[in-house]
Amino acid sequence: MIESLVQLELGDRSYPILIESGLLSSGRTQVESSDVKFSVWSKLVEELRGRRGLIVVDENVAPLYLAMTQRLCVELGMVVDHCLLSAGEMTKSTSALQSIWDLCAERGHTRRSVIVAVGGGVIGDLAGFAAATYMRGLDWIQIPTTLMAQVDSSVGGKTGINLAAGKNLVGAFWQPRAVLIDPAVLSTLDARQYRAGLAEVVKYAVIMDEGFFDWLERRQSQILERDSQVLVELIARCCRLKAQVVGDDEREQSGRRAILNYGHTFGHALEAIVGYGKLLHGEAVACGMDLAMQTACELGHVNKDLVLRQRKLLQAFGLPVDWRVTSAAVGNDQVELVVQVIAAMTRDKKNDGRGVQLILPCALGRVESVNWPGNALIQRVLETSP
């Protein structure tokens, strides 16, 4: 498979997710080779030709992919300038947002301008939120450059920034006009970041697709070698699964989209305790999925084999599965940490008037939403976790 197309169906907000190895470097030159790409490309050119674009990029990605992105935009018929930001989670801030707004105004960008976000989740979330709000909403395009962004954060229209009080507290649902994914850019991705992205990949398999889980087990080595054909299929399968969920529940209203939180209630608690940045989001999610699966096992919803099977795959991908990695990072003793994790998991939802819901597997490829099973059970899971 040299390329794949996933369509996210959301009525007049529908958009294509085009996945092709070499997309960024080849641009138009390969268009003729494929009907799929040709149709997406032609529609984009029709929509974008003659419009101004603002590329938003950070200082890590710019040296690698800014020039290619500029060329791609020009081939799509746009006239582009760019906005260069610092790299890192700190950039998902009000001040960086304001700097994009001011720059848009200063350079005379209008409602017809297009924002092009090239980078990982931080840049995608921030630039998407700027697009959602400058002049009450601009069109935008995502070009994700991390595995995490390619399989997860670039699809679904969640945009936003962090506040001092917490992550993603401010934002908007604002769908891009297209997501352009080039797995070839992953060759330059740091190994730890790459592995962290695989945590979300495993998540999609566990919550929705047993066959995909089998496939991941069989393709382990090619995945770790970043084989580009395997990556096109891997990314396309994740995007297709996410597109189904988002198409059913764009704004997290029906509860359907909540299944994507598998491993995240535990994971967010671990991240919050360790301090964001020390434990990568994907690493926290890997530990969180192991804990969630153990919880499901403790409740009798799945058997021990499945706990071990998921753990084995996560470990094969070089991901941590023992939540006590957090202990090394903060130096607290384990008894205290258990209390902190439970406190962090139950804190957020208290004000909501509804209890904490956990997304737990009931079989491989299927999850359910389960009421908080009680602090004692969660404590036991944390204490006995291998």
CB of 140 or CB of 317, closer to a second copy: 140
Q: Which helix (H) or strand (E) holds 240?
A: helix 228-248
Q: Give the tokens for residue 350.
A: 């208290």
Q: Which of 173, 215, 276, 372 binds a second copy (CB under 8 A)?
A: 173
Residues 138/113, Cβ–Cβ less than 8 Å: yes
Asked if 350 interacts with a second copy (CB under 8 A), we say yes
Tokens of 4: 């794949």
Which range of residues in 97-105, 221-229, 286-294, 367-375 is near a second copy by CB under 8 A?
Answer: 97-105
Short-list 114, 55, 59, CA closest to 90: 59
Residue pair 128/161 in contact by the 8 Å Cβ criterion: no
Should residue 343 be labelled a site residue for a second copy when binding is judged by CB under 8 A?
no
User: How many amino acids of this chain bind a second copy (CB under 8 A)?
Assistant: 38
Among 37, 82, 92, 109, binds a second copy (CB under 8 A): 109
Instruction: Single out the segment in contact with a second copy by CB under 8 A; choices: 38-46, 257-265, 305-313, 347-355.
Output: 347-355
**∠ CA 244-248-252 to the nearest 5 degrees?**
115
Q: What does the block give as tokens for 138?
A: 């601009």
At position 117, the amino acid (one-letter code) is: A
What are 311's strand-pairing partners?
none
Q: Which residues pair with 230 in a beta bridge?
A: none
Least distance CB 168 / a second copy (angstroms): 8
Sheet of 114-119, strand order: 3-8, 15-20, 178-181, 139-144, 114-119, 52-58, 79-85
Task: Find the binder of a second copy among 164, 300, 376, 384 (CB under 8 A).
Answer: 164
Please report how close the Cβ of residue 98 comes to a second copy at its closest, in angstroms. Answer: 5
Q: Rounded to a whole number, what is the largest CA-CA distance in the chain?
A: 62
Is residue 128 part of the contact set for a second copy (CB under 8 A)?
no
Applying CB under 8 A, which of residues 192, 218, 251, 304 lies at the interface with a second copy? 251
C-beta separation of 175 from 10 below 8 A? yes
The DSSP element (H or E) to which 38 belongs, if any, is helix 35-48
Q: Does 94 bind a second copy (CB under 8 A)?
A: yes
Nearest residue (CB) to a second copy, 37 versus 109: 109
Q: Which residue, 93 or 150, has its beta carbon nearer to a second copy?
A: 93
Which of the stretches 110-118, 319-327, 338-346, 355-363 binds a second copy when contact is defined by CB under 8 A? 110-118
User: Applying CB under 8 A, does 11 fall inside the site for a second copy?
Assistant: no
Residue 49 engages a second copy in binding (rule: CB under 8 A): no
Beta bridge partners of 218: none
> What are the residue numbers of the active site?
136, 158, 200, 242, 252, 257, 261, 264, 268, 281
Residue 76 C-beta: closest distance to a second copy, Å: 16
43 touches a second copy by CB under 8 A: no
Closest CA to 78 of 54, 104, 108, 111: 54
* Cβ-based nearer residue to a second copy, 124 or 197: 124
Q: How far apart are CA 2 and CA 215, in angstroms?
A: 18
Per CB under 8 A, does 111 bind a second copy? yes
Q: Is 52 in the site for a second copy (CB under 8 A)?
A: yes
Residue 33 or 94: the one with the smaller Cβ distance to a second copy is 94
Separation of CA 250 from chain center: 15
* Residues contributing to the site for a second copy (CB under 8 A): 50-52, 94, 98, 101-102, 104-106, 108-112, 129, 132-137, 158, 160, 163-166, 169-173, 251, 350-353
